[in-house]
Structure 1
Amino acid sequence: MDSSLNKNRSLNKYSIETTDYQIGQDNVQKWGFDIHNPVFGISAGLIIIFLSTLLLVDPATAKETLNNVRNSIMADFDVFFMWSTNFFVFFTMVLIVSPLGKIRIGGKEAKADHSTISWMSMLFAAGMGIGLLFWGVAEPTAYFTNWWGTPFNVEPLTAEAKSLALAATIYNWGIHGWAIYAIVALSLAFFAYNKGLPLSIRSVFYPIIGDRAWGWAGHIVDILAVLATLFGLATSLGLGAQQAASGINHVFGYDGGIGLQLSVIAFVTLIAIFSVMRGINGGVKVLSNINMLFAFVLLIIVIILGFDVVMVSIPETFVAYAQNFVGLSNPHGRDDTAWMHGWTVFYWAWWISWSPFVGMFIARISKGRTVREFLCAVIFIPTLVTLVWMATFGGIAIDQVANKVGELGANGLTDISLSLFHVYDAMPYGKVLSVLSIILVLIFFITSSDSGSLVIDSITSGGKIDAPVPQRIFWATVEGTIAGVMLWVGGTEVLQALQAGVVTTALPFTFVLLVMCVSLIKGLNSERHLYK
């Protein structure tokens, strides 16, 4: 690695390169903002253009156009996505067992800022969140019943279909996805805390492109990260509002329509604003700990109520995941390409498009961990928790389908947003479980919104870790506004169109991640001699 990459020179060079916007920045600071003008200005401008276009274009047309683009990318680059993601898993495993694993984020004497439990709660809430509740029942059931194809085209509603349904679900939510997050998070954390560079995507590429990282090459990367993060969060917030509203209607019989959905968004946004005002320790960490406590209580209750089924499905899922890991990772010679494109390749694109957001947030809270400790915790612990969660909820759902129990047993998947509540309806204390899940849905969205706001603050302020409070409020408000406007204008069609648009950013970001691996190795090797 270039010997010029040291803390003092990097910070000095960054200051020199950014003096061209410093006067404008000072003018904005007096109003409570601390912004990086090229990134903040262009990102805000593109958001305004998007919202204006959204008000003019037919939602169905936008959805069809963006879906066609997304499907074309995933069909033409399926092998590239699959092998790139396999490489990310291999790369992180090599780092874990290599001598580089001893390097500590923040320097040899650095101490962790957060307890292990709080750290895990925050990274899990930001990285997984609502997906567990939304897909924990729906995805295994979909694979088992051939709702939209089955892995390896197995015969649906069979014992083999059950094992593969559970295995494929964990495959799509397990090691591969978290390896993507881990690479981005580790790269950002290392260059921010060990090399003194700004906490921004551009900093990772300093060892390769040098000072050009502070120019337009870096601006473009950061702008893409802002847009992918903001629109990804807005999409999830909108879809989550629909699920929460559906749950409230199902449990309490109150059909508030679009008004209820907008009220959910407003409530989540207000709490997220309060959280970001209090910062990491006073807001995000507290909510994340509450979040994981609720999730743990819900999981334990469901395991107890479905004990006989769960005690079979958990070990079965673990064994099936291990047995099918290689087969599901291989994109060649598959006769289930429709399923692979619709599920696995889409998931890899979605994980990659979210990696700037989740990776940066994990980086921000991970100072003081060794590379080995960091990678093991970020990759394996969430995968293990996800396995237990999906095996529990998915196992019970599949059992209900197989034994013709409840709504799922009678009609299969009819409404994905209600599939979890349909499972509860056929269980003891179903109303209690439904209320707990609605609360958990809301908390998950709040933690995603506040952590996302902090990430966007950091990028648009030039990589600063603590942006001013008004700026945090601004971005949390923008997220909620975009979600609300999308629901008001076109409902689900607009949300799905935006989701397709976000996924298309995965193609350029995959190349960014591959280059990031090279840069990370160069950076880690520069400190290897300190740990001999």
Structure 2
Amino acid sequence: MKFKSKKYSIESTDYQVGQDNIFKWGMDVHNTVFSVSVGLSILFIVALLVFPPADAKAAIDAVKGAALSHFDFVFMWTANIMLICAIGIAFSPLGKIRLGGDNATTDYSTISWVSMLFAAGMGIGLIFWGVAEPTAFYTDWFGTPLDVAPFTPEGRELALGASVFHWGFHAWAIYGMTALSLAYFVYNKGLPLSMRSVFYPILGDKVWGKTGDVIDIMAVLVILFGLATSLGLGGSQAASGISHVFGFENSIFLQLTIILVIMGLAILSVVRGMDGGVKLLSNINMVIAFIFLGFISILNFTTVLDSLVTGVVGYVKNIIPLSQNSGREDTSWLHGWTVFYWAWWIAYAPFFGMFVARISRGRTVREFLACVLIIPTLVTTAWMSFFGGIAIQQIIDKVGQLGVEQGITDVSLSLFYMLDAYPMGDILSIIAVLLIIVFFVTTLDSGSIVVDSMTAGGKLELPMKQKIVWAVISALIAMVMLWIGGTDSIKALQSVTIIAALPFAIILVLACVSLVLGMFTEVKKPQLNRNQSA
């Protein structure tokens, strides 16, 4: 396969990934990427062991705050540009290109494919923030979007609309464009499944050298730190729920035990393979999630129907004002919520992109973008509107813990406080805890697959033990950081991930440019063939 244009030409065999690989204990890894990634991860943990976690968190938070405040335009416009690019490519002739070539077939049904991309992308976040975020916006817990007055009908509309905005088209455009870039260069150009491959049209053969190593190492670190952060915070959140439902003490030992259980289940999922692991768990989790959503809807039909309409109207009316970073008076809210979310989605994009790229062969670019943008946005709109609308209604009617407190007092328990207002609250809370744990299992499983491929030079088929190693490493980082500094350490790790997202935002924009350059070689093929025939 040749990658041709006037500016560059490459044979896929030019890059022999195995030449820089080390084979020890039956493992196949890229020497530079693997060694540097592991070394920097260990160095970060040692630094936190040497410096008090609270002090380290304060110092890192200061850097994160500066990045979010002074470079908010980078994050905001990265999200806007990627959404514009996704829409433009989908409606252009480039949308007809099929990932893997004209005769490629899909490996998974659309339902299984959507379930896997959703479980890997945002499933766990919706469980946690579905109640907390709209409630926070409505009650002015940490500012209000566009400085709308709290506890008002206008505040309710914008609270639901802004929540949908954070989990809607912009977020999935960041994920989708990253995944499309990787899938295209892997399946249509025969390059390794690695972030460096995306930049061949721009950097040429430099992607196989140190420049490419830097790109891959940055991707590995943001993925690894993001996974460890999710595990640490997720372990704490699941422990809060279990403690609330069953009355156990929410201790460090309970949190560590939950992470161990998640790690064990993730390893079992890895051993069972893609079909018997991530695919199966994702399908099961989506069924449980929709049953959960449907049951809540039946109990509150009038409220959820009104909330859905209100959320959609609030989203459509305010998507442009919320997408801007200049001329805003709600800067504290903007930096604390929207810019933070965009940075977090950017940091997670390599993980999501590589995993979804692996499972997307055979789909046209238009189908890929339509599914990635529209279906998850519809689900997140329903989830945020339903749960957020019910929580806000409880506040208005002064029902349950949320109504008594007129807002949230503990973010990790906000969902459980809402469920407590129902006669079957304990059963619903158990289902919520189960969803949280299974979503984390699929996240750790898919994350270990991605990191394994990245640190092996982009290979798709690798020894099973390597995937297990990365699942264990991610869990151990989370456990060690919880042990030495509790949630302060985990939040410090989260801040580091956000800081790393700043340069990665530029990388993702360049990836969009590189993708378009590469795809133009596809649409030129028929013209080239006609000229040759003539």
Q: Report TM bin, short chain.
A: over 0.9
From 335, 358, 361, give the equivalent of 1:364. Answer: 358
Alignment of 1:369-448 (within 5 A): 369-411=363-405, 412-448=407-443
- The SS at the match of 1:505 is helix
Q: 1:342-371, CA deviations, whole angstroms, 9 ceiling, x for partnerless residues?
A: 100111111001101011111111000100
CA contact (8 A) 1:102 1:531 kept: no
Aligned partner of 2:93 in structure 1 is: 99
TM-score by length of 1: 0.96
Inter-partner Cα distance in structure 2 for 1:351 and 1:4: 33
Q: Which residue identity is paired with 2:317?
A: Q
CA contact (8 A) 1:207 1:523 kept: yes
Inter-partner Cα distance in structure 1 for 2:194 and 2:263: 25
From 443, 464, 467, give the equivalent of 1:469. Answer: 464
CA contact (8 A) 1:305 1:427 kept: no
Q: Which residue identity is paired with 2:458?
A: G
Aligned partner of 2:532 in structure 1 is: none
- The SS at the match of 2:143 is coil
Q: After TM superposition, give the deviation of residue 6 of structure 1 in Å.
A: 13
Aligned partner of 1:353 in structure 2 is: 347
Inter-partner Cα distance in structure 1 for 2:357 and 2:141: 38
Q: After TM superposition, give the deviation of residue 5 of structure 1 in Å.
A: 10
Aligned partner of 1:199 in structure 2 is: 193
Inter-partner Cα distance in structure 1 for 2:296 and 2:308: 13
Alignment of 1:3-402 (within 5 A): 3=4, 9-15=10-16, 19=19, 21-22=20-21, 25=22, 27-28=23-24, 31-402=25-396
- The SS at the match of 1:147 is coil
CA contact (8 A) 1:102 1:372 kept: yes
CA contact (8 A) 2:401 2:417 kept: yes
Q: 1:101-144, CA deviations, whole angstroms, 9 ceiling, x for partnerless residues?
A: 00000001100000001000000000002100110000000000
Inter-partner Cα distance in structure 2 for 1:219 and 1:258: 37
CA separation of 1:209/1:151 partners in 2, compared to 1, >3 Å: closer, same or farther?
same
Inter-partner Cα distance in structure 2 for 1:225 and 1:346: 18
Q: Which residue identity is paired with 1:453?
A: S
Q: After TM superposition, give the deviation of residue 530 of structure 1 in Å.
A: 5.0
CA separation of 1:112/1:422 partners in 2, compared to 1, >3 Å: closer, same or farther?
same
Q: After TM superposition, give the deviation of residue 256 of structure 1 in Å.
A: 4.8
CA contact (8 A) 1:5 1:207 kept: no
Which structure 1 segments of 5+ residues have no match? none
Q: After TM superposition, give the deviation of residue 7 of structure 1 in Å.
A: 13
Q: Which residue identity is paired with 2:89?
A: L
Q: After TM superposition, give the deviation of residue 10 of structure 1 in Å.
A: 3.4
- The SS at the match of 1:494 is helix
Which structure 2 segments of 5+ residues have no match? 528-534
CA contact (8 A) 2:346 2:504 kept: yes
Inter-partner Cα distance in structure 2 for 1:119 and 1:403: 40
CA contact (8 A) 2:5 2:521 kept: no
Q: Which residue identity is paired with 1:57?
A: F
Q: 1:197-253, CA deviations, whole angstroms, 9 ceiling, x for partnerless residues?
A: 000000001111111101011101111111100110111111111111111111111
Inter-partner Cα distance in structure 1 for 2:443 and 2:330: 33
Q: 1:152-172, CA deviations, whole angstroms, 9 ceiling, x for partnerless residues?
A: 111110000000000000111
Which shows bigger deviation, 378-387 or 248-257?
248-257
CA separation of 1:260/1:291 partners in 2, compared to 1, >3 Å: closer, same or farther?
same
Q: After TM superposition, give the deviation of residue 308 of structure 1 in Å.
A: 1.6
